[in-house]
Amino acid sequence: MESPDPTVLAGDLLTLYGRIRRTLLTGKADDVTASQTAALGRLLRYGETTVAELARAEGVRPQSMGATVQALEDLGLVERRPDPADGRRALVRATDRGARAREDAWTTRTRVLTDRLAALPDADRDTVARAIAILTPLTER
**pLDDT above 80 (res 27):** no
The predicted-structure confidence for 31-73, as pLDDT tens digits, reads as follows: 788 889 899 999 999 999 999 999 999 999 999 999 999 999 9
Domain tally, the chain: 1
Any domain includes 72: yes
pLDDT band at residue 28 under the 50/70/90 scheme = low
CATH assignment at residue 56: 1.10.10.10
Any domain includes 90: yes
User: What gap in Å lies between CA 121 and CA 60, rounded to an integer?
Assistant: 41
Q: Domain range spanning residue 69?
A: 30-139
CA distances from 77 to 29, 96, 104 (A): 15, 8, 13
**Average pLDDT rounded to a whole number, residues 7-12:** 94
Q: Residue 4: phi, psi to the nearest 5?
A: -65, 145
Any domain includes 60: yes
